[in-house]
Structure 1
Amino acid sequence: MQILMIPEIGHYALVIAMLMAAVQGVLPLAGAATRRPLWMAYARPMAAGQLLFVAIAYACLTASYMLDDFSVTNVANNSNSMLPWYYKLSAVWGNHEGSVLLWSLLLAAWGYFASRFSRELPRDMVARVLGVLGLVGTGFLAFVLVTSNPFERLLPNVPGDGADLNPLLQDIGLIMHPPMLYMGYVGFSVVFAFAIAALLGGRLDAAWARWARPWTNLAWAFLTVGIALGSWWAYYELGWGGWWFWDPVENASLLPWLTGTALMHSLAVTEKRGAFKSWTLLLAIFTFSLSLLGTFLVRSGVLTSVHAFANDPSRGQFILMLLGITVGLSLLVFALRAPRVGHKVGFTWLSRDALLLINNILLVIMTITVLMGTVYPLLLDALDLGKISVGPPYFNALFVPLTLLLALFMGLGQVARWKQTPVSLLVSRLWLAAVGAVVLGAALPLLFAERWSPAVAIGLIAALWIVLPMLRDLFEKARNASSVGAGLKKLSLAYWGMQLGHLGVAVTIVGVAVVSNYSIEQNVRMAPGDSVEVAGYTFTMNELSSRQGANFLADRANISVQHGDSSRSFAMNPEKRLYLATRMPMSQVALRPGFLRDLYVAMGEDLGDGSWALRVQYKPFVRWLWLGGLLMAFGGVLAVADKRYRRLATARDPEARAAPAPGREASA
């Protein structure tokens, strides 16, 4: 068997990339501290070089997978000659070593784009931002090389074929979900670097906030899409029909999303009013730290989950050390330098400033709630104080009321003014929305369900309370202009992005409330000729057949579905697959998606007499969960496209600015 040298090329490329990241991390920071332009000038070329060599390493690992080079341990453990080529591409990151390499590649890419789109920033700011990113990149590349080398060989005993990719991961979800999630995780490193650069430079003003906001919005948008894709993947792949399980690894992605959401709003206040400066810095530090914590939870082997990779303790110790150094040093810098950037800005407790602060506090409390429920059982186990399990009852009991409170203040904040809002103005703007939300929210459940659910009514009221003040604000801005069209055209993309993001939250709340309370599930025994009725739909099994896929054998049921008395029907074809390399069985769910409902059929076990156990479910409004996530993400991207982020921000403090012009006060 011919042994290719591609893995060695990839390994040496990683070594060169780490050395370039180290230069990027040390020289520019030293140059900014000593005011040496030549040292600062190393930042951009080193960022480009780091990306180039990490990309070479990643391409080498991908080539090893595509060429079925089973002399590489990583390929032998996670691929197979029968695996379709598109799953071989995603198998590159479907394991610990490959996923950390993907993380390093995306980190290098974010660093390169930060250098590419920062031409108008002061030279010392660019040097500090890229220097911090270089240090983070050095840590992760060292982690890859020391504990997680994807290019290790199985020589001389090369297996004839690979062990295959876990059947759970042989899905389009693996192709899309991890890259999007990592783009969000890693994107917050840029915001973290901006925060540390501001602290080291001793200045945090409107210019800094304006530079940091696009990176924050973009990272948050990627993370939102990644979480939504993960929920969708779990929904149809695991065969349970659930969309969120409060799994510790799911929680690990939710934590930086919550603080990232708070960070976006805090940056808006910092840019607009010059307030919350120290708070904004802390949120930037904690958001990236929680991204690292999520990496530790998933990659250390301390969790047992369908999402997690079980690994040796040395990897967890390395990530924990990296996390400790990052959090410790950044908080030390904050403690030493924060007094220099603080500045007090006055506002009353009935103002947009105060309402955004309350929402920030609620988001942080939600973060702490999820963090404690996730980490506390691990701490008890580590200290030999016993084992406990924290499940959905804990999270739902605390998270749901906090979400409703968050929705309440979101509705208030959309029509409040900066600095101070008269009570009479707030009442005049909101009384109609309040009445409409309560009346419509209480009545709507009667239109699409046989029973009235108070939980659904409360969810709809909360969603309408977000949407109706938003519509009222749009109406007010259009009415104050010479024409409706002219008024709407004057609104910035940042304003439209904010409204779209809030609409996404409302849509998600509707989906959660309805699908959680009006879903119908039946576990049935069916043989050809048998029928079952679920939510007005008649499911009839017509026949059972077998088929062979690229690397699996499948038992397939043909089920015709008819709604009510309609003469029309459609087919659903769930499968029970047996993967040949691993001999692992998997259910392939049959879905009939719709805007207002999903029909869901999953095959269970062969009962031995020609019949099968089937799970048949009716899932109303379940698509609204992911539609809401996409709307939120698109809102974040739309805000990034605002033209003011494409020009250099003014350096003078926002406190000296005049009040925002009518129609633009909500653009934050």
Structure 2
Amino acid sequence: MIPELGHFAIALATVIALAQGIVSIWGAHRGDARFIAAAPALALSQALAVLFAFLALVWSGIVSDFSVINVAEYSSARTPLLYKITGTWGNHEGSILLWCLILSVCGAAVAGFGRNLPSALRARVIGVLGLVACGFLLFTLTASDPLGRIWPPPSEGQGVNPLLQDPGLAFHPPILYCGYVGFAVAFAFAVASLLEGRVDAAWGRWVRPWTLGAWCLLTGGIALGSWWSYYELGWGGYWFWDPVENASLLPWLTGTALLHSAIVVEKREALKIWSVLLAITTFSLSLAGTFMVRSGLLNSVHAFANDPTRGIFILVLLGLVIGGSLLLFAWRAPVLQPAGLFAPLSREGALVLNNILLCSIMAVVLAGTMYPPFVQLIFDQQISVGPPFFISTVVPLAAPLMAAMGLGPVLSWKRAAVAPALLRLWWAALASLIVVLVGFYGRLGWAAVGFGAALWMVLSALAEIAERSQLFRLPIGTAWARLRGLPRASYGAAVAHAGLGVAVAGMVGMTLASHSIILMHPGDTTKVGRYDWHLVSLTDGRGSDFTSRIATVAVTNARSGAPVATLRPARRTFPLQQQTTTDVSIKTNGFRDLYVALGDERDGGIVLRINVNPLAPWIWLGALIMAFGGGLSLSDRRLRIGAPVRFVRRQRTTAVKVAAE
């Protein structure tokens, strides 16, 4: 009964979403107060209906209702409770329903938290979100039903994909999807602004918090997926330029550019066309990523479910959303004339340069990701584009980007001079240069330049705060008062920039990793890095739905012989799914990881993959700092409601003057 009610809830949500789109946009166009007032209620109703359907699917998984096809194919009675719940979105149908839920919650959030918006603009935004949601709900209802029945039901399900039975990947998809779908709000604001034919400073202030929230979630989702790849797949790396990894990176790059463009719109009412186009592009890339993964166009260890026939439906939906928004942009963009001017050498100019470089990196990654499937489609040839291509093309673009990130925040708005800005950063540049020289002296090669660039980003972020507070130039009491008075958004931006520097340092450190793949027998010892690795024993273990082979590896200092760590990597075999996974063992001290994974057994021994990864934890620490910086900025009250309040006050003042006249 519950699955049928959930199915009915999806159908109801589809109708509500269609009404939400038509009523809201038509009401705003006609200025009908009744239709405009109905928009928030429709958005909330749609969210409640989709939430009920999603909970019905979760409940079916918890009680192991194998008459539901989704549960029969992706769960089992022996699956732990956590993975019965998270397994609902570890497949095609459930993940699309999760997408619909997050999208409907975004519409409800605009309805609930957008009360300071002009009523017509809010109605248009809600209407655009309703139309997008209607398309995905219709797809769920007709081609990707997560609550379809099977009869007779099997006595046992096929079980959750063993790779998904991990806390990291259990929560990775929802966080990543929140980031993906969160950009739908910025997209809706962009389309609404095109319909109105107006983008002003208030628009930039309204878009920024929604974009920032989505950016933080997408940053966290990418980092969590990277961490899962690092410790679960057992290949010793954190990023392989996998097509699905790239699909999540693309909207992150343009979303970062959108954040910076919105700042210029707010400050100078310039870059309006840039901002609107970036908002459309970012959400379009999120949709394209979904199509590429779910259609079977891209093959990846991350693509757990795909269906080419369903991909046609997504492709049509993609064409309607992207094509329609771009046609509207081509028609209405000429009216979005910039109101503010600025010199090329200014903070605005630095932000424009950053955006150009970010979009260039996006174009390179997109080309490298899509080139193999297009070659296969057109020429029927199998080719691959691997890390060497991406590294050789992205790094030359990332280098000036990092330089501009440090210099841009200390430049003046509208017009700036280079010499004063460089004087403010001389100590950061000197420290970075010293690191580079020391690195070359220590024979680190080009990694020395990477460490210097990472330090430059961290110190220049500190220099921005020091400059704004006049630290070391005013009495300490006065400087402290200025520090306390700085808005949280300023601190958040500096923290996010510094976090990227920390992450870059971790990435550069990983290029210096020591590694070995070696066949060892119990009692054997090998040296990797500055450590001796001794295989003590091989034992068997058993879990709730798997058996395991466990190795005990003692790690000691190669010089002193002092014990450093005892690692216990394992290989798990899941009989129900007939699949084997790797359980990596990692010992970290915050500055390096001792990493060991098990391979195949042969000749009475076992293959060990051993890595010593310098600064590896800094990759995810840096991502955490970046997300924290974004959250700190988002907590700034002026960022969230400052412009809307000023806009409403301005409207009220104008109304009072008109009434008085």
The two structures share one fold, judged by TM-score above 0.5: yes
Name which of 629, 632, 635 aligns with 2:626. Answer: 632
Question: Which residue is 1:340 aligned to?
Answer: 335
User: Is the partner of 2:595 in helix, strand or coil?
Assistant: strand
* Structural mapping, 1:266-415, within 5 Å: 266-384=261-379, 386-415=381-410
Q: Which amino acid letter does the alignment assign opposite residue 62 of structure 1?
A: V
In 2, the alpha carbon distance for the partners of 1:274 and 1:89 equals 47
Residue 458 of structure 2 contacts residue 499 of structure 2 at CA under 8 Å; is this kept in 1?
no
Cα distance, 1:34–1:306 mapped onto 2, change above 3 Å: same
Partner of 2:55: 59
Give the counterpart letter for 1:452 in structure 2.
Answer: R
1:320, CA displacement in angstroms?
Answer: 0.9
**Which among 195, 200, 204 is matched to residue 205 of structure 1?**
200
Code of the residue aligned with 2:144 in structure 1: it is S
Instruction: Report the equivalent of 1:579.
Output: 574
Q: How does 1:22-171 map to 2 (within 5 A)?
A: 22-156=18-152, 158-171=153-166
Shift of 1:597: 0.5
CA separation in 1, counterparts of 2:259 and 2:51? 30
1:151-184 CA distances to partner (integer Å, 9 max, x unpaired)? 111113x211111111111111222110110000
Query: Does the 8 Å CA contact 2:462/2:494 hold for their aligned counterparts?
Result: no
Moved more, 571-580 or 429-438: 429-438
Contact 1:441/1:460 (8 A) holds in 2: yes
Q: 1:472 aligns with which of 463, 467, 482?
A: 463
Deviation at 1:385, TM superposition (A): 5.3
Distance in 2 of aligned mates of 1:568 and 1:247: 37
More displaced 10-residue stretch of structure 1: 578-587 or 399-408:
578-587
**Deviations 1:254-312 (Å, cap 9, x if unpaired)?**
00000000000000111011110111000000000000000001110112111114533
Q: Which residue of 1 aligns with 2:501?
A: 506
Residue 397 of structure 2 aligns with an amino acid whose one-letter code is: L
Match of 1:19 among 2, 15, 18: 15
Q: For the residues of structure 2 that align with 1:64 and 1:617, how far apart are their CA atoms?
A: 42
Q: 1:323 Cα shift?
A: 1.1
> Contact 1:441–1:464 at 8 Å: present in 2 too?
no
Distance across 1 between alignment mates of 2:52 and 2:407: 51
Contact 2:592–2:613 (Cα < 8 Å) also in 1: yes
Q: Give 1:549's aligned residue.
A: 543
Q: Secondary structure at the match of 1:260?
A: helix
The two structures, once aligned, show a CA RMSD in angstroms of: 1.6
Cross-structure match for 2:258:
263
State the match for 2:175 in structure 1.
180
Residue 455 of structure 1 deviates from its aligned partner by 1.7
- Distance in 1 (CA, whole Å) between partners of 2:362 and 2:30 is 39
Does 2:509 align with 1:522?
Answer: no
How far apart, CA to CA, are the structure 1 residues paired with 2:96 and 2:578?
28
Structure 1 residue 393, shift from structure 2 partner: 1.2
Shift of 1:645: 2.9
Q: Return the offset for 1:637.
A: 1.1
How many angstroms apart in 1 are the aligned matches of 2:639 and 2:494? 18
Count of equivalent residues? 642
Mapped partners of 2:209, 2:607: distance in 1: 51
Give the 3-state SS of the residue equivalent to 2:89 in structure 1.
coil
CA distance, structure 1, for counterparts of residue 159 and residue 422 of structure 2 = 63
* C-alpha distance in structure 1 between counterparts of 2:479 and 2:536, whole Å: 57
CA drift at 1:350? 1.2
Deviation at 1:345, TM superposition (A): 2.4
Deviations 1:372-398 (A, max 9, x none): 111122222222353321111111110
Query: Is the contact between residue 23 and residue 35 of structure 2 (CA under 8 Å) also seen in structure 1?
Result: yes
2:239 maps to a residue whose letter is W
Determine what percentage of the aligned residue pairs are the same residue: 47
SS at match of 2:147: coil
What TM-score do you get using the length of structure 1 for normalisation? 0.93
Shift in alpha-carbon separation, 1:148–1:182, aligned structure 2, 3 A: same
Deviation at 1:250, TM superposition (A): 0.4
User: Residues of 2 paired with 1:72 and 1:469: CA distance?
Assistant: 56
* Residues 206 and 650 in structure 1, CA contact (< 8 A), matched pair in contact too: no
CA distance in 2, matches of 1:388, 1:542: 43
CA contact (8 A) 2:268 2:339 kept: no
Distance 1:457 1:500 in 2: 23
CA distance in 2, matches of 1:436, 1:457: 13
1:600 matched residue in structure 2: 595
Partner SS for 1:617: strand
Cα distance in 2 for partners of 1:525, 1:259 equals 45
Whether contact under 8 Å (2:270, 2:339) holds in the other structure is yes
Identify which range, 216-225 or 581-590, moves more after superposition.
Answer: 581-590
**1: CA distance between counterparts of 2:339 and 2:25?**
29
Q: Is the 8 A contact 1:304 1:310 kept in 2?
A: no
Judged with a 3 Å threshold, the aligned counterparts in structure 2 of structure 1 residues 117 and 501 are, in CA distance, closer, same or farther, namely same
Alignment gaps of 5+ in structure 1: 654-668
| Alignment-mate amino acid for residue 467 of structure 2 | E
Instruction: Give the match for residue 461 of structure 1.
Output: 452
Deviates more, 1:584-593 or 1:233-242: 584-593
How far 1:411 sits from its partner (Å)? 1.4
Task: Kindly provide the CA deviation profile for residues 351-388 of structure 1, in whole angstroms up to 9, marking residues without a partner as x.
Answer: 11111101100001001001111112222222235332
Cα distance in 2 between the residues matched to 1:256 and 1:111:
20
Q: Is the 8 A contact 1:207 1:651 kept in 2?
A: no
Aligned residue number for residue 431 of structure 1: 426
Work out whether 1:239 is the aligned partner of 2:261: no
Shift, 1:120, TM fit? 1.2
Instruction: Name the CA distance, whole Å, in 1 between partners of 2:110 and 2:163.
Output: 36
| Equivalent-residue separation in structure 1 for 2:83 and 2:168 (angstroms) | 11
Aligned counterpart, 1:617: 611
Which of 488, 491, 515 pairs up with 2:486? 491
* Aligned match of 1:665: none
Whether the 8 Å CA contact 1:591–1:601 is kept in 2: the answer is yes
* C-alpha distance in structure 1 between counterparts of 2:561 and 2:325, whole Å: 64
Distance 1:313 1:525 in 2: 41
CA gap 1:424/1:646 in 2 versus in 1, 3 angstroms: closer
CA offset at residue 62 of structure 1? Answer: 0.8
- Once residues 524 and 384 of structure 1 are traced to their aligned partners in structure 2, the CA distance between those partners, rounded to angstroms, is 40
Write the letter of the residue equivalent to 1:468: L
User: What stretches of structure 2 of length at least 5 have no aligned partner?
Assistant: 648-661
> After superposition, what is the alpha-carbon deviation per residue over 1:17-76, rounded to whole angstroms, capped at 9, x for unaligned?
111111111101000001101111121111111111111111111111111111111111
Q: Find out whether 1:649 has 2:643 as its counterpart.
A: yes
Measured in 2, the distance between the counterparts of 1:149 and 1:109 equals: 20
Q: Secondary structure at the match of 1:647?
A: helix
Deviates more, 1:130-139 or 1:202-211: 202-211
